[in-house]
Amino acid sequence: MKKLFPFTIGLAIISNLTGTIAAQTTIPVETGNVAVVLQTDKNNHLKIIHTGKKLQAPDEYTAAGRMYHLSGDGGSSNNNAFTVAGIDNNFSEPAIAVVHADGNNSLDLRYENYTVTHEDAATLTKITLKDAVYPFYVDLFFKAWKNEDVMEQWSVIRHMEKGTVTLNKYASANLYFYNKDYYLTSYNGNWAKEMQPEQTQLKQGMHTIQSRLGTRENLVGSPNFMLALDAPATETSGTVMLGQIAWNGNYSIQFETDINKKMHLVAGINPYQSAYTLKPGTTFETPRFTYTLSFTGTGTGSRNLQNWLRNHQLLDGKGQRLTLLNNWEATYFDFDQEKLVGLFKGAKDLGVDLFLLDDGWFGNKYPRNGDKAGLGDWQENKKKLPDGIPYLVNEAGKQGIRFGIWIEPEMVNPKSELYEKHLDWVLREPQRSEIYYRNQLVLDLTNPQVQDFVFGVVDGLFKKNPDLAFIKWDCNAPVFNGHSQYLEKSRIPQSHLYVEYTRGLEKVLQRIRARYPKVPMMLCSGGGGRSDYSSLKYFTEFWLSDDTDPLERVFIQWNYSYYYPAIAMCNHVTDWGKQPLKYRVDVASMGKLGFDIRANELKPEDRSFCQEAVKNYNGFKDIVWHGDLFRLVNPYQSDLASLMFVNQDKRRAVMFNYLTNSRYISEAAANPIRLQGLDPAKKYRIRELNLYANQKSGIDESNTYSGDFLMTIGFNPNVTLSRTSVVLSIEAL
């Protein structure tokens, strides 16, 4: 880590209320285009004076704060850099609330110093604040990624008081926006209904998005959001912030509109049931609040996040992925080794890389023949798999495909040997009846022995099966019985449970990655219950939703695409929905393609279609995984969805078009669609992909068009009631 000299621009001498002289410090934190600027006031409190576009001359930032004359009680403290509870004429939501060792519950954080260093490809600004009376410190961190315009913001809390300090609230980030209007897009959800967007104009009071589920942070609400500033943003215009709190646990993001119609944002771990006691000399590091700001709409914003994830966060973000055949919907729990080996042939025939064995392969005393028993007993079921997993890995290898496996190692069914042997490992209220979600309970990952056990599930599989090529890691229950025997025995307050659960899981994932750095793992959670950026450091991809109805999927994938690159998004072709097989395959091809069908029972024409589609996918997957995404036509505003991916040198692109409304009077076919991201000067040829052998495209492949034409006039993919999904390859001559 290279240390740079801290710099203070426009150092001004100002006198404070007591008449002493204080130097005013201005701290600009900048990416390529974005700036968050902080400045001390005459009492040495740190304020946010600008959040938005970077200025060309940084020394001009010093004047920014003076341009606002915000009045009203509390008005002078609403723009605090880290809002405190308990003092300072503060009318707005605190980012931090503590009870000191002596029982006092006030805070008055003053600016101490700051440093700027370089870490990875980013600039790291650390600003230290200290209480005016107590030896209590907050370090504010800003990691600014210049090239991607992404900012990571978090805090580290520490103290040297004479006893334990209780943290009642400990946010990662506190921001302040000086815009006129605010439009928040947030997401509700549920099983098979993840990421349902809603736009709300925030005019007054507090709007909170949060989870209190312990695990599965993306289930009923999502940590992803976008906040359009001044006016609603479009794909290509407007100022908009897109981001999430990167925490695999309870989060809360609060948007508070103040009396001056300015926006105060506080993001972090949800303080719900989570007072945290901090010993002197120790630190509490909060999760990263990760966001980008775009001044040219949501398209740029999401490409920023996608690039950042691929370049710096997602495991093997710039690498390759395996296409697969999964047996979940093909067999559910009803299989044995012969049936599975029979399915391998289907995978081989399709041309995919891997066979993924899903739930149901384990448990003997309590066989996993349904979702009521067996979770926790990770031994092969002898009846179904008499020759064990090694036999399956070997058989798959013989057929030229690789083998992967499903696990859900954080969970336990009460009907299991694990539950019988280790009741103390289970999160449960000892004096109350157990509450189940999908007939199961959550293991106590605050307990190091349980961490060893969960690590051992994965390690054991790899030790016995060194050729195992893929893991699907599921998590199907929230923490409904939030009591830990381990914390109780260790005399740690139960209110540490949610935080320590998440940290315990991260420790396990770190150990797994230390030993198995590369093997692809899919993050799954009863569908798309988990997709936080912090977990994606350990996973190569995630499962968006159990809803694989392709029409629904167009919308679900559309919503996720604002925050994630396609290489991270697993899409499977299944039997859900009424759309033709082609539609299902085309939709699944917009990410990491998989199949979850009885491939060996496909009709010959369907089989050849799928084989051809997998070949085509192999031809363009590099563009989908590593190229730039442009959302062209929004299915929420039209009868059509259209998206395209363009490779880095703008020579190759692939465009996906879907009819999303089957009304006879549809405007879908009427208009050309304006493409994006091409080179105006290049000439392109357009070819239709993924057609059945007997299907004619109707698109004249001999025509060529300039990028200028395609982006100004557009191209009509001719999506009609008889051509409900159209995939086009666009190649420069």
The contact set with ligand GLA (CB under 6 A) reads 328, 358-359, 371, 406, 474, 476, 524, 526-527, 543, 546
C-beta separation of 596 from 572 below 8 A: yes
Say how far apart CA 633 and CA 643 lie, in whole Å: 7
Smallest distance, ligand GLA to C-beta of residue 442, A: 15
Say how far apart CA 12 and CA 26 lie, in whole Å: 9
Q: Which is nearer to ligand GLA, 477 or 519 (CB)?
A: 477
Q: Which is nearer to ligand GLA, 356 or 505 (CB)?
A: 356
Q: Which is nearer to ligand GLA, 25 or 571 (CB)?
A: 571
What end-to-end distance do the CA atoms of the chain give, in Å?
Answer: 46
φ/ψ of 568, rounded to 5, equals -90, -5
Q: Which is nearer to ligand GLA, 363 or 526 (CB)?
A: 526
Smallest distance, ligand GLA to C-beta of residue 526, A: 5
Q: Which is nearer to ligand GLA, 166 or 439 (CB)?
A: 439
Smallest distance, ligand GLA to C-beta of residue 408, A: 7
Q: Which is nearer to ligand GLA, 474 or 639 (CB)?
A: 474
Say how far apart CA 571 and CA 545 lie, in whole Å: 9
Q: Which is nearer to ligand GLA, 526 or 717 (CB)?
A: 526
Say how far apart CA 668 and CA 676 lie, in whole Å: 19
CA dihedral 625, 630, 633, 636 (to 10 degrees): 70
Q: Which is nearer to ligand GLA, 243 or 526 (CB)?
A: 526
Map residue 453 onto helix, strand or coil. helix
Q: Which is nearer to ligand GLA, 44 or 476 (CB)?
A: 476
Smallest distance, ligand GLA to C-beta of residue 476, A: 6
Smallest distance, ligand GLA to C-beta of residue 532, A: 16
Say how far apart CA 424 and CA 437 lie, in whole Å: 19
Smallest distance, ligand GLA to C-beta of residue 358, A: 5
Biggest CA-to-CA distance, the chain: 88
Smallest distance, ligand GLA to C-beta of residue 404, A: 12
514's CB contacts (< 8 A; 6+ apart) are none
CA 29 to chain centre: 24
* Tokens linked to 130: 């200290």
Smallest distance, ligand GLA to C-beta of residue 439, A: 11
Q: How many residues in the chain?
A: 733
Smallest distance, ligand GLA to C-beta of residue 380, A: 17
C-beta separation of 199 from 185 below 8 A: yes
C-beta separation of 392 from 342 below 8 A: no
If you write DSSP's letter for every residue of 7-36 in order, what string do you get? --TT-EEEE-TTS-EEEE-EEEEE-SSEEE
Q: Which is nearer to ligand GLA, 139 or 358 (CB)?
A: 358
Q: Which is nearer to ligand GLA, 223 or 527 (CB)?
A: 527
Q: Which is nearer to ligand GLA, 295 or 437 (CB)?
A: 437
Smallest distance, ligand GLA to C-beta of residue 178, A: 43
Q: Which is nearer to ligand GLA, 68 or 480 (CB)?
A: 480
Closest residue to ligand GLA, judged by C-beta, is: 359
Q: Which is nearer to ligand GLA, 333 or 692 (CB)?
A: 333
- Quick one: which of 250, 106, 96 has its CA closest to 174? 96
Smallest distance, ligand GLA to C-beta of residue 523, A: 11
Smallest distance, ligand GLA to C-beta of residue 725, A: 24
Query: Any idea what the Cα angle at residue 170 is, between residues 165 and 230, rounded to 5°?
Result: 155
Say how far apart CA 607 and CA 589 lie, in whole Å: 16
HEC assignment per residue over 118-175: EECCEEEEEEEEEECCCCEEEEEEEEEECCCCEEEEEEEEEECCCCCEEEEEEEEEEE
Q: Which is nearer to ligand GLA, 108 or 474 (CB)?
A: 474
Map residue 268 onto helix, strand or coil. strand
Smallest distance, ligand GLA to C-beta of residue 115, A: 44
The half-sphere exposure of 167 on its side-chain side, counting CA atoms within 13 A, is 30
* CA 331 to each of CA 134, 335, 361, 565, 595: distance values in angstroms, whole numbers, following the listed order: 63, 6, 12, 30, 13
| Burial category of 624 from C-beta neighbours within 10 Å (exposed 0-12, middle 13-18, buried 19 and up) | buried
Smallest distance, ligand GLA to C-beta of residue 595, A: 13
Smallest distance, ligand GLA to C-beta of residue 524, A: 5
HEC assignment per residue over 602-640: CCHHHHHHHHHHHHHHHHHHHHHHHCEEEEEECCCCCCE
Handedness of CA 609, 614, 618, 623 (dihedral sign): positive
